[in-house]
Structure 1
Amino acid sequence: MKVTLLGTGAADGWPNAFCRCDSCSDARRRHDFRAQTAALVDNALMLDFGSDAPGSAVRHGASLADVRHVLITHAHADHLAPQSLLFRSWVDGVGELELIGPADALDVCRPWVGPDAGVRFTPVVAGDQVRVGDHDVRVLPARHQVFRDGDAVLYDVTGPDGMRLLWATDTGVWPDDWFDAVTGAEFDAVFLEETFGDREDLSDGHLGLPGFATMVAALRGVGAVVDSTDVVAVHLGHHNPPVGVLRERLRDLGARPGRDGEVLDLGESVGRRIFVTGGARSGKSRYAEGLLAGVDDVVYVAAGGPRAGDPDWDRRVELHRERRPASWTTVEDTEVAGVLRSARHPVLVDCLGTWLAARIDHHDAWESGELDAVRSDVEDLLDAWRSCPVPVVAVSNEVGSGVVPATASGRLFRDELGRLNAEMADRADQVVMMVAGQPLVVR
């Protein structure tokens, strides 16, 4: 079962467009923007369908053309934007669509659907079990409401491959007896809202960090969350601390924050790939390290390998080590592909420029210009980058923006690194260009 997170933010997103708090300012600085929470499952099933969802799909390279079913949790605008049904109807041959959700939510949609639009409505209540295309769905209660009890629900979804997820937004903390419905579920992934950080006083129909902790503990207690469950916090808002701090606090609960555009292949181990490039002293390494802030067990790959007899290089390496957490493991190795394939913890590769130079050295290709062996190494690296089973961040240099190098070896390096960067970026989930210490999200 493939899950694409189109959004992981609260109703007002994160950052809030009108806010200058520390949390929103940090998110802007990082270009870490979260749209309203929604997900696409196996390209055919939508989990919620708020006003941000179509635009988010476009931004993250996903298509909604094959969506045939939408599970609606409730009628709040960030979970249901019925006007999107009109926009969908403007496309010829788009196919039939089934809307599944509480009756009140479906009633909101009816005025937006033409008589020949091919849209059918399936009302559900907590306790129902329905077959939705290739997926089996159990409807669960939510401690949340639009106008009355029962007009909001949650979903337990099992895919054709047997993978199982819990979509749990929006809700406050469940009463004890509600957990009976998920006893022994052993979910592969749990998407659990965490809206308010430490401000749970704002609503009992949402979770903050204390309520999130209570829910996760209770789900563990009944065997719904097990050691292999990926517990992902969604519906994140600016009442949370900055994301680096939030990541640390969620890690203590056996959870993590979701990211917009993240793709989870449940049952397969596929990590998120972020490619960071830029000029010398542009802040690439510091930014890349910040992406993994709060993660204890990172493998830092010094991709150029060790350099004997170079005091200046030794000083640079020492400065990098001093600012990295002591819990990170440093590996000085040009065999980066092997490290990526065997990785069991998040990896940071820094940097591909020194890696490429080391591989050209290894194959004595500077003078000869014989690059077949180097390019074979590049293909091996690209294959490992594409299939790495854990989250991975790779840093590289952007060297093609200046004058034409005066030497043949300089031109060779510029051209080969430019090709490598383009291939890495093409296979990345996110591409960031650093300019004067500022991150520009390219894709």
Structure 2
Amino acid sequence: MDVLLLGTGGADGWPNPFCTCASCCSQRAAGEVRGPTAALVDEVLLLDAGPEAARAAERAGRDLAGVRHVLVTHPDHAHPDLVRWRPRSAEPLDLVGPVGALARYDDRLAPDDPVRRHPVRPGDTLGLGGYRVRVLAAAPCDAEAVLYDVTGPDGSRLLYAPVTGPLPEETLTRVAGAAYHLVLLEETHGDRPDAATGHLDLVSFGRQVAELRRRGAVVEGTDVVAVHLGHGNPPMPELARRLAAYGARVVPDGTLLTVGAPPPRRPRRVLVLGGARSGKSAEAERRLLAEPAVTYVATGGTRPGDPEWAARVAAHRARRPPSWRTVETTDLVGVLRTAATPVLIDCLSLWLTAVMDEMDAWDDAAWRGGAQERLAARVEELVAAWRSVRVPVIAVSNEVGSGVVPPTTAGRRFRDELGRLNTRIAAESEEVVLVVAGQVLPLRRPQG
């Protein structure tokens, strides 16, 4: 199947024509205008028929004369005039959708118009030409919407889910093991969640992809593309970077997708640097939200009698999905050598602190008496394990070299050793980023 994305925006497009937020202004400045989500499959099957679909096809150099089947997901995604414009002499058109969506065509179609209506509900299956279509339920909060599972004549398979929220259990059960070649999944609200609409944001999108992976609907070769994008999202370069961490991507309107083409590869080893309260831990956690299982390695340990530390730990735990397993240890080498699922290490600076505590490396006499050499050996062992790890791994570490020079010998020693450790880990990582005030600055970009 070839899928031409006629639109990738939400109902009001992106930028919103009446909005002056940073996201909309960035889109305008870049000349990136996104219309409501719609897709043309093999030039014969139209997924959603919103008010801009026809003009979007024209801009892409295509006509809709060959369309024989229209699948509508929601009343808001139905534009009656698009069907009414077809000549009476055209071949019959299959018009598929929930009852509420088809009702929008009642006063636009004459009895002799060459249109066959197919009202559908979740659970239905129908054949359209050489396509097999399964109708799926959207989020429970939107009873008017349906989603579509489409298998083409060549056996390629796509999930079209442009208007939903967290998928209901009945849909997750039906798509289990589907191993889709292409998933078009809505990501409407970005960093500004709106529970009232039920749409996905960047966090719930990542968790939804993780659940689809857990069910075998998204597999290694699945191309996941975010659609139904709204101005709650960050500007495009940042959105693309965030989605790439999920194994997903964003493409411009008018993009032709070849179903079955391999998706971009993600880096295996990533180092996230930053200062205190810079957002480095949140950035690292976001990058693994789309994984069905993660081992979170907390190197800070517990500090009895320190309520402020306990509050920090509780805040970190509250952000983690229930499927993540937390391990409190400084044996990073053992974790990396035996890991079977992606690993997040938070953080290397606390690991170094614990190791220096073990060796009493803060004491000048101990440092000169062999602690320096033992610490170097531990770092070398960690770097070797990092280099040979077989699963995706992200490590967080503090960047302390830009601050005030510590007043004590021990403080300067820690600063220097952490700088050396960060340098060694960075050299063995495919991607390195620095987080400043919540903004992610790439220091080393992954190849490919």
Q: Give the corresponding residue for 1:210.
A: 203
**Residue 99 in structure 1 maps to residue 95 in structure 2:** yes
Q: Give the corresponding residue for 1:53.
A: 53
Structure 1 residues 258 and 228: alpha-carbon distance in aligned structure 2, compared to 1, 3 A threshold: same
Asked if structure 2 preserves the Cα contact closer than 8 Å seen for 1:164 and 1:187, the reply is yes
Distance 1:252 1:124 in 2: 36
Which of 95, 113, 116 is the equivalent residue of 1:120?
A: 116
Q: Give the corresponding residue for 1:201.
A: 194
- Structure 1, unaligned stretches of length 5 or more? 272-293, 295-322, 330-344, 346-443
Q: Give the corresponding residue for 1:252.
A: 245
Asked if structure 2 preserves the Cα contact closer than 8 Å seen for 1:47 and 1:72, the reply is yes
Alpha-carbon displacement from aligned partner over 1:164-217 (angstroms, at most 9, x marks no partner): 000012101023453110110000000000000122234342111111112101
Q: Give the corresponding residue for 1:264.
A: 257
Distance 1:204 1:214 in 2: 18
SS of the aligned residue for 1:200 comes to coil
- Give the AA of the match of 2:68: R
SS of the aligned residue for 1:10 comes to coil
Structure 1 residues 184 and 20: alpha-carbon distance in aligned structure 2, compared to 1, 3 A threshold: same
Larger Rg: 2
- Structure 2, unaligned stretches of length 5 or more? 265-286, 288-440
- Give the AA of the match of 2:82: S
- The 5 A counterparts of 1:159-170 are 159-170=152-163
- Give the AA of the match of 1:201: D
- The more displaced of 40-49 and 96-105 is 96-105
Q: Give the corresponding residue for 1:30.
A: 30
SS of the aligned residue for 2:96 comes to strand
Tell me the CA shift for residue 237 of structure 1.
Answer: 0.6
- Give the AA of the match of 1:327: R
Asked if structure 1 preserves the Cα contact closer than 8 Å seen for 2:182 and 2:260, the reply is no
- Give the AA of the match of 2:98: P
Tell me the CA shift for residue 267 of structure 1.
Answer: 2.9
Asked if structure 2 preserves the Cα contact closer than 8 Å seen for 1:127 and 1:139, the reply is yes
**Residue 11 in structure 1 maps to residue 11 in structure 2:** yes
SS of the aligned residue for 2:20 comes to coil
Tell me the CA shift for residue 20 of structure 1.
Answer: 1.1
Asked if structure 1 preserves the Cα contact closer than 8 Å seen for 2:221 and 2:263, the reply is no
- Give the AA of the match of 2:84: L
**Residue 175 in structure 1 maps to residue 173 in structure 2:** no
Which of 85, 88, 94 is the equivalent residue of 1:87?
A: 85
Q: Give the corresponding residue for 2:386.
A: none
SS of the aligned residue for 1:50 comes to coil
- Give the AA of the match of 1:127: G
Structure 1 residues 178 and 270: alpha-carbon distance in aligned structure 2, compared to 1, 3 A threshold: closer
Q: Give the corresponding residue for 1:308.
A: none
Q: Give the corresponding residue for 2:338.
A: none
Q: Give the corresponding residue for 2:445.
A: 327
- The 5 A counterparts of 1:406-417 are none
Distance 1:27 1:157 in 2: 32
Tell me the CA shift for residue 145 of structure 1.
Answer: 6.0
Distance 2:251 2:217 in 1: 19
Alpha-carbon displacement from aligned partner over 1:48-101 (angstroms, at most 9, x marks no partner): 00001011111111211100110111101xx1111222222xx36332111011
Distance 1:205 1:157 in 2: 24
Tell me the CA shift for residue 240 of structure 1.
Answer: 0.5
Asked if structure 1 preserves the Cα contact closer than 8 Å seen for 2:88 and 2:114, the reply is no
Distance 1:98 1:232 in 2: 26
Tell me the CA shift for residue 32 of structure 1.
Answer: 1.1
Tell me the CA shift for residue 252 of structure 1.
Answer: 1.3
Alpha-carbon displacement from aligned partner over 1:105-138 (angstroms, at most 9, x marks no partner): 1121121111221111011110111001110011
Q: Give the corresponding residue for 1:353.
A: none
TM norm structure 2: 0.58
Distance 1:93 1:193 in 2: 36
Alpha-carbon displacement from aligned partner over 1:344-394 (angstroms, at most 9, x marks no partner): x3xxxxxxxxxxxxxxxxxxxxxxxxxxxxxxxxxxxxxxxxxxxxxxxxx
Asked if structure 1 preserves the Cα contact closer than 8 Å seen for 2:222 and 2:263, the reply is no
Distance 2:97 2:443 in 1: 46
Asked if structure 2 preserves the Cα contact closer than 8 Å seen for 1:264 and 1:270, the reply is no
Q: Give the corresponding residue for 1:72.
A: 72
- Give the AA of the match of 1:84: L
Tell me the CA shift for residue 327 of structure 1.
Answer: 2.5
Alpha-carbon displacement from aligned partner over 1:372-422 (angstroms, at most 9, x marks no partner): xxxxxxxxxxxxxxxxxxxxxxxxxxxxxxxxxxxxxxxxxxxxxxxxxxx
- The 5 A counterparts of 1:361-372 are none
Structure 1 residues 169 and 324: alpha-carbon distance in aligned structure 2, compared to 1, 3 A threshold: closer
Structure 1 residues 144 and 263: alpha-carbon distance in aligned structure 2, compared to 1, 3 A threshold: farther
Distance 1:178 1:266 in 2: 22
SS of the aligned residue for 2:153 comes to coil
Tell me the CA shift for residue 269 of structure 1.
Answer: 6.4
Structure 1 residues 268 and 136: alpha-carbon distance in aligned structure 2, compared to 1, 3 A threshold: same
